[in-house]
Amino acid sequence: MAAEVLFVDDNKLILQASVDLFKAQGIELLTAGDAAEALELFREHEIAVVVSDNRMPGMSGLDFLSELRQLSPDTVKVLISSYVDLATALAAINNSEVFRYLLKPWKEQEILDVVREGLRRYRTVQAMRREDEAVLRSLAQTIELKDPSTKGHCDRVAVYALLIADAMGLSKDTLRQIKYGSWLHDCGKIGISEVILNGSGRLNDDEFETMKLHTDWGADLAEKARLSELAKNIIRHHHEKYDGTGYPLGLKGEEIPLEARIVSVADIYDALTMDRSYRKRYPLAEAREMVRSMSGAALDPGIVEVFLQVVPQGPLPSSEEVLGDAPLAHPDPKRIDLNLVRALA
């Protein structure tokens, strides 16, 4: 059964206008006139995204979405209100796990974009939950399609991180989770506009604040997908800095999980060796020295030392070679959700 999109509103004209708008985009909607009718639909359908008005007869939209936390926790929830209400917005985020809070009258492009983002988020969670290596790797590579300049980044970060972690004597199970976290460290970028990801220059302040959200968005996806705590730590904290000036929490030193400190070194090194829209890649030797210069500031000094000893200046091994695994086969198309690939692309 394909996952569906549900709109809940007591205004029939709004529901019909929504149906017409989304049908023109190839998306069929389910509709309900109140929360009670919507809850019945949840018992019969797999709902990926629900968009609910707040002020309705009977149960409010906020209470309805709160109830869905138990009934359908993976459903992406969008709350719509006719007026700005900070208390309601905070309750929606904190108590109902609302993905977006929009004001009426919403703009057509705005609601289309939000629902598409919600569908991508839902399908991502379902793919991640299977923790199938071929699916996780395919998912990471598909996310990279949003930003062509990062092609191969997730694979290389995983190899650099595994070389470091292996030299530090971490367990095979820990290395495997570091691989998954490295592959998916930027999965929150599915919620970032391509305009920001593919801009021709450095980000302005507002764009950077939006970009910073990808760590929390990604960690939330990992939480819903029930990935390991170690993988979640990598996704949430790979932009923390050793001196405490990073994000999202400004953690310092060993407050930052070890696995995130490892991947941070790998991530920065690989970024330096890639062409970006606003600069050319640095030669490998120069990039290594730049990583060395960040020791004690952005990066953990001990991990930098290990990195400098083990990361080759020539061709990289594969992650399977580092772990001693059999080579990972190319994903079987029959096992990959092609709708997921199309949506993320």
Average pLDDT over residues 253-274: 95
**Nearest CA among 56, 62, 3 for reference residue 32:** 56
Active-site residue identified among 77, 146, 179, 189: 189
Quick check: 333 pLDDT over 50? no
Percent of the chain at pLDDT > 70 equals 82
Q: How confident is the model at residue 327 (pLDDT cuts 50, 70, 90)?
A: low
Query: In this structure, are strands 29-32 and 4-8 parallel, antiparallel, or unpaired?
Result: parallel
Report yes or no: 8 and 47 within 8 Å, Cβ to Cβ.
no
Q: For 131-344, which CATH superfamily applies?
A: Hypothetical protein af1432 (1.10.3210.10)
Residues 92, 101: Cα–Cα separation, whole Å: 8
CATH number of the domain located at residue range(s) 4-106 in this protein: 3.40.50.2300
Report yes or no: 125 and 74 within 8 Å, Cβ to Cβ.
yes
* Residue-range domain boundaries for the chain: 4-106, 131-344
Asked if 4-106 and 131-344 have one fold, the answer is no
Burial (CB count within 10 angstroms: exposed 0-12, middle 13-18, buried 19+), residue 93:
middle
Q: How confident is the model at residue 61 (pLDDT cuts 50, 70, 90)?
A: confident
User: Does pTM top 0.85 for this prediction?
Assistant: no
Least trusted range by pLDDT, from 8-12, 106-110, 192-196, 244-248: 192-196
pLDDT tens-digit readout, 10-48: 999 999 999 999 999 999 999 999 999 999 998 888 899
Quick check: 329 pLDDT over 50? no
Clarify whether 189 is annotated catalytic.
Answer: yes
Percent of the chain at pLDDT > 90 equals 44
User: Nearest-5° angle of CA 128, CA 132, CA 136?
Assistant: 50
Position 334, amino acid: K
Position 102, amino acid: L
pLDDT tens-digit readout, 168-198: 988 787 888 899 999 999 888 877 777 777 6
pLDDT tens-digit readout, 280-298: 889 999 999 999 999 999 9
Report yes or no: 182 and 158 within 8 Å, Cβ to Cβ.
yes
Q: Give first-to-last CA distance, the chain, whole Å.
A: 22
Residues 266, 263: Cα–Cα separation, whole Å: 5
pLDDT tens-digit readout, 194-230: 777 766 667 788 888 888 888 998 898 888 777 889 9
What dihedral angle (degrees, nearest 10) is formed by the CA atoms of 241, 247, 251, 252? 20
Q: Strand order of the sheet with strand 47-53?
A: 29-32, 4-8, 47-53, 76-81, 98-103
Highest mean pLDDT among 52-56, 71-75, 260-264, 314-318: 260-264
Helix runs in 294-345, H state only: 301-310, 319-323, 338-344
Pair of tokens at residue 118: 């919600």
Using DSSP, state whether 104 is helix, strand or coil: coil
pLDDT tens-digit readout, 62-90: 889 888 887 888 899 998 887 766 565 56
Residues 97, 217: Cα–Cα separation, whole Å: 12
Report yes or no: 77 and 50 within 8 Å, Cβ to Cβ.
yes
Q: Quick one: pLDDT at residue 345?
A: 37
